[in-house]
Amino acid sequence: MAGIRKVEYVMSQKGTVQVFLDGYRYDKNVVRQTCIHWKCVDSTCKGRCTTVGDFIRNVSDHTHPPEDSNFNDYLVINWVDDDARFPIPLWNHHQTAGPRTNNNLEGFHDRLNRSLPHRHPNIYRFVEVIKKTECADRTKIAQLDFGASPPSRKRVYRETENRLRRLKDMLTQGQKTPIEFLDAVSHLLKLG
Ligand SMILES: [Zn+2]
């Protein structure tokens, strides 16, 4: 993935250009032909990166975590800005009515593992199992298509869904500010 990442440049306090990547800042080190080699601003760290044109080519590990303010910039640049690497519609689940986590996939993998006789089955046994799984799932989908009610969720999850829906309504109707909404949601989902 490193090869296709665009470089983000920032200005240091001294006015020199730095590369900003994943919460780390780099000073220009050496220019060799088309490559520019950058070194971590922390002189005790061996973190390095190389850029070619406007793209990152190599990145090495750091001996320290990214700085707090850098981390904030990292979040904004990667997830929030208009031209963020992961644009908001890609990760935002505000309008999602279905699952908001991949726990259902974890559950599927767990069931798949348990339906296999042992850890490394031969390919024929594996194909047999996934055929059975597909068959069972097609039946379930057909039942849903004919109006069967989906499996009921645990009461605690239903309650969370209802509260979330009420909070969203309050936000939409202007009874809560975005910050109050986020506060309530993070409390509800125990993120705080
Ligand atoms: Zn470093």
Bigger pLDDT: 161 vs 28? 28
Ligand 1 midpoint to CA 70 (Å)? 12
Rounded Cα–Cα distance for residues 31 and 119 (Å):
50
- Separation of 122 CA from ligand 1 center, angstroms? 46
Per-residue pLDDT band at 192 (split at 50, 70, 90): low
Q: Calculate how far, in angstroms, residue 48's C-alpha sits from the geometric centre of ligand 1.
A: 8
* Interval between CA 66 and ligand 1 midpoint (Å): 8
pLDDT at residue 20 greater than cutoff 80: yes
Q: pTM of the entire structure?
A: 0.49
CA of 53 to the centre of ligand 1 (A): 22
Q: What is the CATH number of domain 2-89?
A: 2.20.25.240
- pLDDT > 90: percent of the chain: 52
Provide the residue ranges of all domains of the chain, joining segments of one domain with +.
2-89, 103-140, 153-188
Q: What is the Cα–Cα distance from 63 to 179, expressed in whole angstroms?
A: 35
Taking CB atoms within 8 Å and a gap of at least 24, the contacts of 4-8 are 4/55, 5/55, 5/56, 5/85, 6/54, 6/55, 6/56, 7/51, 7/54, 7/55, 7/56, 8/77
CA of 20 from ligand 1 middle (Å) equals 11
**Please, which pLDDT band fits residue 70 given cuts at 50, 70 and 90?**
confident
Q: What stretches of 28-102 show up as alpha helix (H) in DSSP? A: 68-75, 88-91
Separation between Cα atoms, residue 147 and residue 166, nearest integer Å: 27
